[in-house]
Structure formats: C-alpha cells, structure tokens
C-alpha cells in the first residue's frame, strides 16, 4: 500500500461546503442588524454612521458626494438620498465646490461630530464583542485577511463586464 487513500475533494458549490457569498452576507446582515438595533435610539442608521465616519476621517475641507460613494462602496443615487436626510437632520452640510461647479463638498457639522462620537463608541463595543470569538492574537490577522478578500471582491467587480439587459 502506498500511503493513506485520498478522498475526493468536496465540489466548491456543494451544499456541504462553506461558501463565501452566503457567509459574507450572513455576517454583514447580522452585524448590520445588531448595530441598527443598538443605535436606533439616536435616529441614525448604520449607513449614516459610515458616512459620518468617512467625513470625520477625510479632508477637513469636506469631500465630494462621489468620493463619499467610493469610500462607502455605494452608488451615487443611494448616497444622494442618504445625504439629503442627513442634511435635514443637521449632521452634514453641502457647500459649492470651489473648482467644480457641478459638485458639492460635504462637511460634517458639530452636531454630526457629536453624533459620530456617540455612534463610534457603540460600534467599537459591538466589534469587540463580535471579535471576542477569536483568540486575541488572531484578530488583527483575521481583519487583514478580510481586507484582502474585500479588495479582491472589489477588483473582480471592477473588471467584470456589464451585461446589457
């Protein structure tokens, strides 16, 4: 006999195998739901928190709606609607872009900064709670690998041809 018998590998699309799309969707959906519930008392949504975070971490002069859409991995129409609600709430303001007459610079307001700080504390607590299932010395490595997967997904999407419907 020559070594242990090799079993046939499970096909990549087998129901018995872990599959990336449903795992990513389940993780995102569950995390989003938990965060939505924890911040409901503030009147903000997870997407609004992401916008506030992106604005807080970006150029102090503000960023364009297109830049925000890219940072949030979203589409411009969704961002336009999101910003409209946030502007009405007093969390952001839109200013005419100094060079591009078609664009606006989006800036976070003092009220938006205060809300962001409150939401950030909740987000950090939730992330810590979720990552507690991993040994502490593996958490950063997991996030690095997840970043690589997210970047690969974005690159595949960018290179994928659009089919006309």
Q: What are phi and psi of 94, to 5 degrees?
A: -105, 130
pLDDT tens profile 83-139:
999 999 999 998 887 777 777 889 999 999 999 999 999 999 999 999 999 999 999
Q: Is the pLDDT of residue 165 over 60?
A: no
Q: How far apart are CA 77 and CA 100, in angstroms?
A: 19
For the cut 90, the answer to whether the pLDDT of residue 26 exceeds it is yes
pLDDT of residue 90: 97
Task: Give dist(CA 165, CA 162) in Å, integer.
Answer: 9
How far is it, in rounded angstroms, from Cα 10 to Cα 93?
53
* Residue 4 clears pLDDT 60, i.e. is over it: no
**Distant-in-sequence, close-in-space partners of 119: CB < 8 Å, separation ≥ 6:** 39, 42, 44, 49, 52
pLDDT reading at 7 higher than 90: no
Q: Name which of 75, 14, 135 is nearest 22 in CA terms.
A: 14
Q: pTM to 2 decimals?
A: 0.82
Residue 1 has pLDDT above 60, yes or no: no
3-state secondary structure of 93: strand
Mean pLDDT score across all residues of the chain = 89
Per-residue pLDDT band at 52 (split at 50, 70, 90) = very high
Q: Across residues 140-160, what is the average pLDDT? A: 93
Domains and CATH numbers, the chain: 43-157 (1.10.10.10)
**DSSP string over 25-57:** HHHHHHHHHHHHHHHGGGT--HHHHHHHHHHHT
Query: Tell me, what's the pLDDT at 99?
Result: 76
Residue reference for tokens 């960023």: 63
Using CA atoms, how far apart are residues 33 and 6, in angstroms rounded to an integer?
Answer: 43
């Amino acid at each position: 006999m020559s070594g242990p018998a090799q079993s046939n590998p499970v096909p990549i699309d087998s129901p018995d195998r872990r599959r990336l799309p449903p795992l990513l969707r389940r993780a995102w959906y569950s995390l989003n739901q938990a965060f939505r519930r924890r911040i409901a008392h503030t009147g903000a949504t997870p997407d609004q928190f992401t916008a506030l975070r992106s604005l807080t971490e970006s150029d102090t002069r503000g960023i364009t709606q297109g830049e925000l859409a890219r940072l949030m991995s979203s589409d411009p129409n969704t961002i336009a609607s999101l910003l409209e609600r946030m502007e009405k709430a007093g969390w952001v303001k839109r200013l005419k872009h100094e060079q591009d007459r078609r664009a606006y610079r989006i800036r976070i307001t003092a009220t938006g900064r205060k809300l962001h700080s409150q939401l950030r504390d909740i987000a950090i607590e939730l992330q810590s709670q979720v990552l507690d299932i991993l040994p502490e010395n593996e958490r950063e490595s997991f996030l690095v690998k997840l970043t690589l997967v997210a970047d690969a997904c974005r690159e595949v999407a960018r290179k994928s041809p659009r089919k006309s419907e």
